[in-house]
Every structure is written in C-alpha cells, then in structure tokens.
C-alpha cells in the first residue's frame, strides 16, 4: 500500500513539507519497482533533498499544489503487456535511455551508458527479461539473457 502525507514512515516526519511530499513520491515509485523499504526510504529522502536544492521556485510551487505522492499510473505495472518485454539501452538526446521494448517512451534517462545498462539489468532481473544494449547508431551491441 503506498504511503501518503497522512501515513508515512517516521523518518519522513521531520522533513520540510515539499521535501516530504517529493520523498514520498520517490519512495512509492521505488517500492512499486521492487525496492525494499529499508533501501527506498533513505534513497528517497536524499533524492528529494537534492531535488529541492536544484528545483526552480515555480517547479516547487507547482509540485506542492499538483504533485502526487501516489505511484505513477504510467508504470509498467499499469501496462502488464510490457512485463515480458526486454529492457533496451538506447542513445537519447540527454544521455542513454532505458526503455521497455514496445514502450512509447523511455522509463529513465541516465548520463552514461553504463548507468543505463546497470539500471536496465536491475529492472530485467526483477522481470526475468533480457537486456538489449544498442550502440549510438542503433545497432545491437549485446544481449544479456536472464539467468
């Protein structure tokens, strides 16, 4: 069951409201992706604090009034037909993307190819699917099959 502003971990209680809300959003998403609670909580808190440091004032205001602490409905669990598809690592305008085969858009974009490969491996391990690594030109470099 996802955490909310009224039902969240004790370690979130002392956080500033906007940081708390962002941490809840991140932690819920991580739990949805299969992270253990004891890993998700500290990571979510750190990422939320970092987000606040880098977010524009308007972005924070918008998030406070419109952001949701509930897991995104656009996750793979909302599209069960994608659960059996491989994770692809492909070149992206902003770095390297992790994208489920047949998905309309990337689930994540990482700065480096290795970061994208590592994330794709994490996802594929949980799903029991392959990782398909592409070169910059789009051709397939390697396929990592589930064990």
What are the percentages of helix, strand and coil residues in the chain, rounded to 5?
45, 20, 35
* CA neighbor of 8 nearest in space, from 51, 47, 37, 50: 37
The predicted pLDDT at position 83 comes to 59
Question: Is-contact 59 21, C-beta < 8 A?
Answer: no
Domain extents in the chain: 10-66, 76-142
The predicted pLDDT at position 67 comes to 64
Backbone angles phi, psi at 13, to 5 degrees: -60, -35
Q: What value does the mean pLDDT take over residues 61-90?
A: 63
Q: Is the pLDDT of residue 116 over 60?
A: yes
Which residues is 89 bridged to in the sheet?
Answer: 98, 133
Question: Is-contact 121 128, C-beta < 8 A?
Answer: no
* 103 CB neighbour count, 10 Å cutoff: 16
Cα 31 to the center of its chain, rounded Å = 10
How far apart are the C-alpha atoms of 55 and 58, rounded to whole Å? Answer: 8
Please provide the average confidence, as pLDDT, over all residues in the chain. Answer: 82
Q: How confident is the model at residue 109 (pLDDT cuts 50, 70, 90)?
A: very high
The pTM score is 0.47
* Percentage with pLDDT > 90 across the chain: 30
The predicted pLDDT at position 55 comes to 81
- Give me the residue label for tokens 């656009």: 74
SS3 call for 104: coil
The predicted pLDDT at position 117 comes to 95
How far apart are the C-alpha atoms of 58 and 12, rounded to whole Å? Answer: 23
Characterize the bridge pairing of strands 87-92 and 95-100.
antiparallel
The predicted pLDDT at position 58 comes to 81
The predicted pLDDT at position 64 comes to 75
Q: How confident is the model at residue 126 (pLDDT cuts 50, 70, 90)?
A: confident
Condensed to tens digits (0 to 9), the pLDDT of residues 2-38 reads 788 878 888 898 999 889 988 888 888 888 877 888 8
């Amino acid at each position: 069951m996802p955490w909310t502003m009224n039902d969240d971990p004790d370690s979130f209680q002392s956080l500033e409201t906007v940081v708390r809300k962002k941490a809840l959003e991140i932690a819920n998403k991580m739990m949805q992706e299969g992270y253990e609670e004891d890993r998700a909580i500290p990571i979510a808190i750190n990422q939320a604090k970092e987000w606040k440091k880098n977010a524009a004032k308007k972005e924070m205001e918008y998030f406070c009034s419109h952001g949701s602490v509930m897991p995104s409905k656009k996750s793979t669990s909302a599209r069960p037909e994608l659960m059996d598809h491989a994770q692809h690592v492909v070149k992206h305008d902003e770095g390297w993307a992790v994208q489920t085969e047949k998905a309309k858009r990337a689930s994540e974009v990482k700065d480096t190819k290795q970061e994208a490969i590592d994330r794709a491996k994490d996802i594929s391990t949980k799903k029991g699917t392959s990782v398909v690594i592409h070169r910059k030109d789009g051709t397939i470099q390697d396929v990592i099959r589930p064990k």
